[in-house]
Structure 1
């Protein structure tokens, strides 16, 4: 059976269990629970590998580990300082969760008055997207509280708390292409399909990393390393300190402890769906309640970068770890089963979805939090609620609501307590759990990645540890690269 037929006829592909009692789903389409094999019991056995010499693949000034939003921005920032830069990415593309993870909704980049406080390389990437690859309000609307505009853009996830924001939907394939073109055009060495498996720790200083690929196990030596893995892999491999459990911060059960595979469909009429929600809210509520009753779960469809594309950012699954391969395997399988159950239900029940078909299940798992850096100065909700502006500010984040001022991001949140030779950018910067809830978003990863890459470039150029560079020089260079910072 060819792929289009599979996508248009899920029953023929997965069995008659959808509505028929056979295959992956029980009669009526209700979710019958995980069907994957039980996890293997923990093994206590070990083997000993013989010692071996590892070839040095190359030497560079700045090694960026991870090609997601933070790593992409870090590599560009360091390269623009004249340093040799190599970026290593385990997948076959750049963009990370904003591309391969289908986190195509780029969260707020403006403050409540419409000022673009997350600018720089992240904004440059968005501006480079071609016509038709981005859907969002123009600059003239950022900060608008006009009810008609708010109502329109709220349906498209670009208005919050009665304010229109820069928060577009983007085409993930074009973000990959644009990211590739930017890095290659700047002269960054890009190594894809390469997974860093160990840090090279020389008495407390990270000197590079070991990666594995189809060519086997190799090493890259560097003056400075940027950990942009999202899971703080380099720091963990080097023996650095980190926090792993948000529940210890009193926030157990929140969205940070859920993981999932997102998915997109096409062949939909999202204008019709949005009109249905708007004009008959009682019927919409009843439909979604019926979905929860029939399936045991239901996720909200969001209009994508086109009106014939829909993105589901869930269903989110809790109780799993993004660091456990058994958990990751189970979530991948269950997410796809739930995707098919959604397809059957929405085709039958939802206006505008009659001809929907599966466009893509995300190649990357949607992981929100695994490890967070134990940094020199973690960001805390107490600080930003009090409006603290740090003297070593390297970025500014929008605040969660109009009750709070914009949020100052200190350079010290990117620096490990003890390790030298490494700086971090991305969702794992040092923070408490409440702060990580927004610092993990794509724009904030662009912002901290650019700061980390700029710091790494300055440190490599001067022959200094990242913690020893001049913060005033760092802030000045960030401004030259288009970043927004509060005035001193």
Structure 2
């Protein structure tokens, strides 16, 4: 077990648990798959593959821009890790001065969610450095470095329903229970995907495909360059299955954790000793529901089916062990019960696109708007300014017909620590959807979309952008990078 300490570049302290020993998979030989013709299920202007935070935002934004859109999702719900993964603590959407910078689709969601589905500080307190308010919200995932932030917890079922209704309102063709398997590539351009469902193998053809799989499955299989290096001293490469306990009293738990630090420390030490894998609970949208977003497990690959299975097995066993220990020893957990383990495994990192642009650690201290800015991320600590997200981070170096959004966009391993978060996925998803719509409507490739037109369309959809260098310079920079 490693303990990652909280620093200016990391919000939380956390424990990271090493993997179990890996058993080598035996070689069972090969089977040659026979060739066949498959039916084309659908044709559209924009196909979004993956209905997580970025894919839902992409589909909704592309349709709002007037495109004919299809959204392919392997599960029975939208929202991805923010719903099925139980990552219901939505990370910071305000900067360190309290300004809401994660807007657009994200803001629409929170405006439309029922108030009893959201728990977080009132708008008047965003950016507050009042010690009492910061102390209160620091125990409730909404204050860091002594600053109150807008980082609420939400009801995942409400977000599932709302996400679905938004895309259906905009006439998106929604396809559940379908897993994209192979990109259709002709002449270096993605033309659609082959997907699997209970009906068998079928294809969808599209003018532009948006890879919102989270792991870069499509762009990798289409031959686009990517990287998968990790930051060892961070949790961004770890996996786990989250869970919820019901029947708890989080007010009592917080009073114990905050008011009796020595006893809490002893409790955590005993938990690690008795349970091995061990994690503390976080608040949820209700006082009687506790959220566990760990234990975080290191050394497993999100691209290895045996590793994925092993993480699920360890996580579910840890869930049961936690229940026994917390019921016996944790104030507020005497009547706790197993409420729900996440239907989706918590993958933080697999691949990252090599794009014509990127979000880089070297940009953090500068904070200047990039010429092709399509969104703004809050910085990781108050010592840094807000961080510009470039359109080039969504565009593959070489591959045409495809845009990427979500946790697999082009960025370095340090920046990935926050670019993988739910709000940043909403940002890049909305930008990819609008850009894909503009490309399809204009009969051009996504890399040739006019940056000024894209930024104007994003502003019209409520996205927060800042004045920067002339957009023409961004277009030239994108083409120059491709040529290089």
Structure 1 and Structure 2 fold alike (TM over 0.5):
yes
Distance, in Å, in 2 between the alignment partners of 1:42 and 1:197 is 24
Match of 1:218 in 2: 202
- Counterpart for residue 333 of structure 1: 313
| 1:288 Cα deviation from its structure 2 partner | 1.0
Q: 5 Å matches for 1:3-152?
A: 39=23, 41-43=25-27, 45-152=29-136
Partners of 2:248 and 2:334 within 8 A in 1:
yes
CA distance in 2, matches of 1:348, 1:44: 47
Residues 302, 350 of structure 2: 8 Å contact kept: yes
Is residue 418 of structure 2 the alignment partner of residue 434 of structure 1? Answer: no
TM superposition shift of 1:42: 3.8
Which of residues 155, 173, 181 is equivalent to 2:157? 173
Q: 2:211 and 2:133 mapped to 1: Cα distance?
A: 40
Deviations 1:195-234 (A, max 9, x none): 0000010111111111000000000000001011100111
* Structure 1 stretch displaced more, 275-284 or 352-361: 275-284
User: What is the alpha-carbon distance in structure 1 between the residues aligned to residue 224 and residue 259 of structure 2?
Assistant: 54
Shift of 1:303: 1.2
Q: Deviations over 1:335-387 (max 9, x none)?
A: 00011111100000001000000110001010101000000012110012222
* Equivalent of 1:356 in 327, 330, 336: 336
In 2, Cα distance between equivalents of 1:245 and 1:387: 24
CA distance in 2, matches of 1:42, 1:180: 42
Conserved? CA contact 2:49–2:180, under 8 Å: yes
| 1:187 aligned onto 2:171 | yes
* Alpha-carbon distance in 2 for matches of 1:252, 1:277: 28
TM-score (norm 2): 0.91
Q: Is 1:476 matched up with 2:476? A: no
Distance of 1:384 and 1:201 partners within structure 2: 36
Query: For each residue in 1:237-296, what CA deviation from the matched residue of structure 2 results, as whole angstroms up to 9, or x when unmatched?
Result: 1111111222xxxx2242122100000011001101111112211111111111112222
Where does 1:71-470 land on structure 2 (aligned, <5 Å)? 71-246=55-230, 251-470=231-450
What is the match of residue 479 of structure 2? none
What is the distance in 1 between the residues matched to 2:214 and 2:459? Answer: 25
Residues 164-198 of structure 1: CA deviation (Å, up to 9, x unaligned): 11100001111101101111111111001000000
Aligned residue for 2:438, secondary structure, equals helix
| CA deviation string 1:46-65 (max 9, x = no partner) | 11121100100010000000
Distance 2:176 2:50 in 1: 10
Query: Deviation of residue 132 (structure 1)?
Result: 1.1
Aligned 8 A contact 2:373 2:465 in 1: yes
CA contact (8 A) 1:34 1:334 kept: no
Q: In 1, are the aligned partners of 2:183 and 2:221 still within 8 Å (CA)? A: yes
Once residues 387 and 398 of structure 1 are traced to their aligned partners in structure 2, the CA distance between those partners, rounded to angstroms, is 10
Contact 2:369 2:467 in 1 (8 A): no
- Which string of whole-angstrom CA distances, capped at 9 and with x for unpartnered residues, describes residues 99-158 of structure 1? 000000000000111111010001211221112111011211111111111111111101
TM-score normalised by the chain length of structure 1: 0.91
How far apart, CA to CA, are the structure 2 residues paired with 1:42 and 1:487?
57
Give the SS at the match of 2:116.
coil
Q: Please report how far the alpha carbon of residue 34 of structure 1 lies from its aligned counterpart in structure 2 after TM superposition.
A: 6.4
Please provide the CA RMSD for this pair.
1.4
Q: Which runs of 5+ in 2 are unaligned?
A: 1-16, 469-484
1:462 deviation in Å? 0.3
The answer to whether the 8 A contact 1:94-1:180 is kept is yes
Task: Look up the match of 1:6.
Answer: none
CA displacement at 1:44 relative to structure 2: 5.7
